[in-house]
Amino acid sequence: PPVIYWTRRDFRLSDNPALVAACASGAPVIPVFVCDEVVEGLGAAPKWRLGLGAEAFAARLDEAGSRLVCRRGPALEVIRALVAETGATAVHWNRLYDPDSRRRDEAVKAALKADGIAAVSHAGHLVHEPWTVETGTGGFYKVYTPFWKAVRGRDVAAPLAVPRLRAPEQWPPGDDIAGWGLGAAMDRGADVVRPHCVIGEAGAQGRLGAFVVNRIGAYAEDRDRLDVDGTSGLSENLTHGEISARTCWHAGMRAMEEGKAGAETFLKELIWRDFAYHLVHHTPHITTRNWREEWEAFPWNTDADHPHVQAWQRGRTGMAIVDAAMREMYVTGRMHNRARMLVASYLTKHLLTHWKIGMDWFADCLVDWDPASNAMGWQWSAGSGPDATPYFRVFNPETQAEKFDPLGRYRRAWVAELSSRPPDTATSYFAAIPRGWGMAAGDPYPRAPVVDAAEGRRRALDAYETRGF
Binding site for ligand FAD (CB under 6 A): 223, 231-235, 238-239, 269-270, 272-273, 276, 337, 340-341, 344, 362, 366, 368-370, 373-374, 377-378, 381
Query: What's the rounded Cα separation, in Å, for the pair 158 and 154?
Result: 12
* Amino acid at position 70, single letter: C
For the CB of residue 34, give the shortest distance to ligand FAD in the complex, in Å. 23
Choose between 27 and 388: whose C-beta lies nearer to ligand FAD.
388
Choose between 28 and 377: whose C-beta lies nearer to ligand FAD.
377
Choose between 77 and 360: whose C-beta lies nearer to ligand FAD.
360
Cα dihedral 171, 173, 179, 180 sign = negative
Give me the phi and psi of 28, to 5 degrees please. Answer: -60, 145
Choose between 5 and 404: whose C-beta lies nearer to ligand FAD.
404
For the CB of residue 371, give the shortest distance to ligand FAD in the complex, in Å. 8
Choose between 298 and 369: whose C-beta lies nearer to ligand FAD.
369
For the CB of residue 337, give the shortest distance to ligand FAD in the complex, in Å. 3
Q: Please answer whether residues 182 and 48 qualify as being in contact, where contact means their C-beta atoms are separated by less than 8 angstroms.
A: yes
Integer angstrom CA distances of residue 275 from 123, 129, 376: 16, 9, 9
Secondary structure (DSSP) of 293-321: GGGGGS--B--TT-HHHHHHHTT-SS-HH
Query: What's the rounded Cα separation, in Å, for the pair 410 and 428?
Result: 15
Q: Is 183 left (phi over 0), alpha (psi -120 to 50) or beta?
A: alpha
What SS3 state is found at 35?
strand
* DSSP annotation of 92: E
Choose between 71 and 340: whose C-beta lies nearer to ligand FAD.
340
Choose between 27 and 220: whose C-beta lies nearer to ligand FAD.
220
For the CB of residue 300, give the shortest distance to ligand FAD in the complex, in Å. 16
Integer angstrom CA distances of residue 380 from 18, 282, 375: 33, 16, 8
- The burial class, CB within 10 Å (0-12 / 13-18 / 19+), for 119 is buried
Alpha helices in 183-244 (DSSP H): 201-214, 219-222, 235-239
For the CB of residue 235, give the shortest distance to ligand FAD in the complex, in Å. 3
Residues forming the annotated binding site? 219, 231-235, 266, 368-370
Choose between 144 and 430: whose C-beta lies nearer to ligand FAD.
144
Integer angstrom CA distances of residue 13 from 7, 65, 122, 159, 208: 11, 12, 15, 11, 16
CA 315, 233, 353: angle at the middle one, nearest 5?
35
For the CB of residue 2, give the shortest distance to ligand FAD in the complex, in Å. 34
Instruction: Name the E strands within 110-258.
Output: 118-122
Give the relative orientation of helices 263-282 and 144-151 as an angle to the nearest 10 degrees: 110
For the CB of residue 28, give the shortest distance to ligand FAD in the complex, in Å. 34
Nearest residue to ligand FAD, scored by beta-carbon proximity: 377
Choose between 369 and 430: whose C-beta lies nearer to ligand FAD.
369
For the CB of residue 151, give the shortest distance to ligand FAD in the complex, in Å. 14
Residues forming the annotated binding site for FAD? 219, 231-235, 266, 368-370
First to last CA, the chain: 62
For the CB of residue 196, give the shortest distance to ligand FAD in the complex, in Å. 13
* DSSP annotation of 353: B
